[in-house]
Every structure is written in C-alpha cells, then in structure tokens.
Amino acid sequence: MCSDEIVSGKAGHSCVGAINVPSAIRSGHSLALGGPVNRATDAAVSSSGDRDNAIYGGRLASNMKLRNIKIRSDFPPERSVLFVCMGNICRSPTAESVFRRHATLAGLQDQLFIDSAGIGDWHAGEAPDSRAVTHARKRGYDLTALRARQVDLDDFTRFHWIFAMDLHNLRDLQALSPPGFRGHLGLFLDVVPEIGLREVPDPYFGGAAGFETVLDLTERASEALLARIAAVHQLR
C-alpha cells in the first residue's frame, strides 16, 4: 500500500507493492485544444462537477478533473508517447523533457506528441521536484513549464506508446488499461536491454546521485526509443 510521508519538511510518496488501481475507473472530461505545444502551464478544468470514486492506495482521487496539458485532438496516437512514474514530478517529467530534446535535435518534434503523467494524484498541478529541475538544467533540459497530472483512461486512446519507469508503475498501468488497447505498454528501459537494467530508480528519497542516474538512463533510452519510433513510422 502507498502512503504519504514527510521527508525534509515536504510531503512525499512511498510505495510498497503495487497500487490497487480499479480497472473500471471512469475518466474525467478533458478539453481538446489545438496548437503546437505539448504541455501548457495553465490548467484546463473540466466543466463537470462529478468526482470519480477511485481509490489509490486508500486515497479518494478526483481522477484528474484538473488538466495540465493541451491535447492536440488531431494528433495520431501512433506518434504519441507517454512516460509514467509514481507522482509525475521526478522521473517521468525528466524522461519527457529528455525525449523531447532528442526529438528536437533530430528535427522530429513536430511529428511527435510527447507527455508524461503519474500513477497517483499526490502532486497533481505541481511543478517537477526542484532537484529534478536543477539537475536537468545542468544538462540543458528545461522542466520548469511542466505540471504534474494523473494518468487516466483517455491516455490509452491518445497514446500508442506508453512507458512505465518501473515494474510497480507498469502493473498499475496494466490494471488500468482497457481491453481494447492495442498500443505498446512496457518499461522504458526495455528499449535498451544492453544496459542490463529494466527500471529507472525513483530518486525522490535519495540524494543528487539519484537524479543524475535518472538523467543518464533516460538519455540512453530516449535515443534508442526515438530511433525505433522513427523507423516504425518512417519519420524524417
């Protein structure tokens, strides 16, 4: 089960075992907005006042009535990539930013839709962890505009490529995935089996080295993933 803990004066998340994610969770209404950006700093709020009674580790979740992305409704799911970690403030926003940079350097940023989300709603609407921001900035990645959100059922329609940072995240996503999902759902590091690791370690409760490790791993995996997607969809 998962619980909130206080670490260095700030609320954190911890987890032992997989979160019990109901398979029949209903997604909240979201706004579909056109535009060239993948993530907006302003939030689009659902007009519906309903709350979904979904339990995440004993917590009542609002199932993401607060939206933090502008969805390009006309963008092909086959070229849409989602990175998922526990709370969407450390690993997955780092992966999103790193992968976006690789896509930009390859001139493919306008051909891919890239986003990230979290299994839980603890940090919904918050900026990434300041330590993740600081370490990413040292390598030229800017995480400051990103805001955390919780994964929902709509993501399995919008995204063909969904990558979990660890096995707990993957099991939770598999429990949430609808029967009709025909996309790729797996571990991010499985695209680089030669490194001998399958999980991106959560750096939340550790020191600076943990955030550097996340960057090292996501850089390796992003390069391989971009090459794979570009080959599959003949992007150039």
For the chain, the structural domain boundaries read 2-232
Kindly report the CATH number that applies to the domain delimited by 2-232: 3.40.50.2300
Of 67, 85, 121, 149, which is the active-site residue? 85
pTM over 0.85? The answer is no
Give, for 103, the enclosing helix (H) or strand (E).
Answer: helix 91-105
Give residue 76's pLDDT band: very low, low, confident or very high (50, 70, 90): confident
Nearest C-alpha neighbor of 208 from the set 141, 153, 132: 132
Q: In this predicted model, what pLDDT tens digit does every residue of 122-137 receive, in sequence order?
A: 999 999 999 999 999 9
Give, for 101, the enclosing helix (H) or strand (E).
Answer: helix 91-105
More confident residue, 117 or 30: 117
Of 121, 152, 172, 202, which is the active-site residue? 202
pLDDT at 223 over 80: yes
The pLDDT assigned to 73 comes to: 52
Q: Is 202 a catalytic residue?
A: yes
More confident residue, 50 or 198: 198
